[in-house]
Structure 1
Amino acid sequence: MPRDALRRWLVAPLIALAAATTALAQPADAGPAMRAQAVGPHSHYVEGLTQLGSPKNQNFISNAGFVITPEGVVVIDALGSPRLAERLTQTIRELTDKPVTHVILTHYHADHIYGLQYFKQLGAQIIAHSASREYIQSDTARLRLEASRTELAPWIDGNTRIVPADVWIDGPTSLKVGGVVFDLVPVGPSHTPEDLAVFVPSENVLFAGDLFFNGRLPFVGQANSRQWIESLERLLAFNARVVVPGHGAASQDPRKDIATTRDYLKHLRQSMGAAVNDFVPFDEAYEKTDWSAFSPMPMFGPANRMNAYNTYLLLEQETLKKP
């Protein structure tokens, strides 16, 4: 056998073994990348994927923020699985060794709360609006968790549970941690009955939760879209330098970016409202509506028809309540 061929014959198994060893060294549950992005001197967020939740993405489809104070770290929203909360904590540890002392929830939707139990184990105090209690005790929450244990396994499993808050608030509340003030402002019922906006005056940063979806279509669900539109104006009144949405990239131009969510909600109400007033069946109304201003946006396919239908039903109810 020629010398070069002999060398290749001897070295090939070693190369294969090294490659196999490297593959085994990679964590099987690494999941999608998670990176802290600074939005203020001490404020950061991680941006979830513009996707539906799946085992592949560990339900990393929403944002979470955190603010590092001299006393500890305050987290805003807990992400969509215990594993993601653990990874968020590891991301925080890359910037500080201070403990996570508080978790503030903007609302109790599944993609923002299934990480709570991890933070609870760390000893963090959980704060949320008291209107969340109805959801926690509802069949909707129970059935959603049961479905998630199948659809999002192994990241959501039989050990995953819905964790209630330690502190329930009913109105505007100021929290001070390490001298840093957090203004918790109820802005619901909008996207949910319990929507909270979290403003950090010293950073001039606003964490808006799912009132604001940046660069993509929102999921309207059972939202009160009339109130939601009004609440978006309240977000702008903070005059924040940066607004961190529940989904999508942080906005450096809140007036422009928030207007997209507002205009979409207005379009839903105007188009579906006209159909309700004229007794046009939903399917016909949907097909006749011009969606071209919004159809290029991410998540239009999964979200728009459901959003339109829920808005149609909402406006039917509003019509029946008119004197």
Structure 2
Amino acid sequence: MTLMARWRRTLALVTAAAALAVSAQAQEAPVMQARQASPSTWFVEGLSALGSPQNQNFISNAGFVVTPAGVVVIDALGSPALARRLLEQIRRVTDKPVTHVIVTHYHADHIYGLQAFQAAGARIIAHQAAREYLHSDTAALRLEASRKELAPWVDAQTRLVTADEWLDGPKELVVGGVTLQIRPVGPSHTPEDLVVYLPAEKVLFAGDLVFRGRIPFVGQADSRRWILALEQLLAYDAQVIVPGHGPLSQQARADMQLTRDYLVYLRKVMGEAAKNMEPWEGAYQAADWSAFEHLPLFRVANRMNAYNTYLLMEREGQ
């Protein structure tokens, strides 16, 4: 199959998935309510859906840690309007200023709100591996498309925001005497994945390495290293996990296992098909998806995930 034919197939899958998701969207703006995860940590939970004007692109989670000297936010949500709503939620909890925003990865649903936090004076921290994407044609085209698909919530004033501090390794961030451990775990879901751990309260902000109770979005991820990264996360003595998508988790191993099992199965069935040079469609139809087809977003994401994994396994086998 030629590169152009693969691109057309991927575009067709994306278009079909978007149509399924949009048809299921509610017409009212989604409710945002900060919920407490531990004495010092809070989070807001996005919808289990693809972004649309109806949900304002509120499809991912964000968290924040309240310290005596200020607030540290983890991820900025998918539009400036959502970020401003998150700031309002923070104001209901504390009058301390937002001092930092830590970006777990540079996907649109986690970063389009950054400019609102930058305007509020927050210092933005991210992994330096995001620089390549941030200055790429892919990022520019993604934003251009979002300005049309997610208007008016993402518009001509919405822009990509660079970090004030680019990390190339682990960092201990101490604010008001509270220590946050920032750890690189990529490349896995993205090249720039970061997780944030609050050891005093055993809370882990896992970004999109963990999709709780739903099918993950695999995209161009390195699924082999994603599986290894999940093993790293299990080494933390976390009692609470704030995932990138889905409800709060207090069963770390069980909830990570779902994402891991799905990735392992994708690699197994698509890897065998690629090795045997079987056509992708036939391999997809022959696979047994019964362990996952009941999960939210299966119909939206699974075909794309399987196709991208098939291409990945082809490359790995070369």
- Report if the CA contact (8 A) 2:202-2:240 is conserved: yes
Matching of residue 158 in structure 1 with residue 194 in structure 2: no
The letter for the 1-side match of 2:242 is V
User: Who is 1:79 aligned against?
Assistant: 77
Distance 2:115 2:303 in 1: 34
Structure-2 residue corresponding to 1:221 = 219
| Mapping 1:232-271, distance limit 5 Å | 232-271=230-269
Question: SS of 1:94's equivalent?
Answer: helix
Cα displacement string for residues 41-66 of structure 1 (whole angstroms, at most 9, x for unaligned residues): 01010000001101111100000000
Superposition pairs of residues 6-21 of structure 1, within 5 angstroms: none
1:103 match: secondary structure: strand
The letter for the 2-side match of 1:192 is T
Tell me which amino acid in the other structure corresponds to 1:218. P
What is the identity, as a one-letter code, of the residue corresponding to 2:185? V
**1:201 counterpart (183, 199, 202):** 199
The alignment partner of 2:81 has SS state of helix
Cα shift at 1:30? 8.0
Q: Which amino acid aligns with 1:274?
A: E
Match of 1:169 among 149, 163, 167: 167
Aligned to 2:3: none
User: 3-state SS of the aligned residue for 1:271?
Assistant: helix
Report the Cα distance in structure 1 between the residues aligned to 2:205 and 2:28, rounded to whole angstroms: 27
Structure 2: gaps of 5 or more residues:
1-26
Deviation at 1:202, TM superposition (A): 1.2
The more displaced of 29-38 and 119-128 is 29-38
**Which structure has the larger Rg over C-alpha atoms?**
1
CA deviation vs aligned residue, 1:50-108 (integer Å, no higher than 9, x gap): 01101111100000000000000000000000000000000011110111110000000
Identity of aligned residues (%): 65
What's the TM-score, normalizing by structure 1? 0.89
Count residues in correspondence. 292
Q: Does 1:100 align with 2:103?
A: no
The letter for the 1-side match of 2:180 is F
Aligned to 1:180: 178
Match of 1:138 in 2: 136
* SS of alignment partner, residue 51 of structure 1: coil
Question: CA RMSD, aligned part only?
Answer: 0.9
TM-score (norm 2): 0.91
Equivalent position SS for 2:224: helix
Q: What is the aligned counterpart of 1:64 among 59, 62, 65?
A: 62
Change (3 A) 1:283 1:30: closer
| Distance in 2 (alpha carbons) for counterparts of 1:244 and 1:271 | 30
* 1:103-141, Cα deviation, whole Å (9 max, x unpaired): 000000000000000000000000000000001011110
Give the whole-Å Cα distance in 2 for the aligned partners of 1:274 and 1:34. Answer: 43
**Displacement of 1:233 after TM fit?**
0.7
The 1:86/1:166 distance shift into structure 2, 3 A limit, reads same
For 2:105 and 2:167, the matched residues in 1 are separated by 12
Structure 1 residue 31: deviation in Å? 2.2
Runs of 4+ in 1 over 2 A off after TM superposition: none
Taking the TM superposition and a 5 Å limit, the aligned residue runs for 1:33-52 are: 33-52=31-50
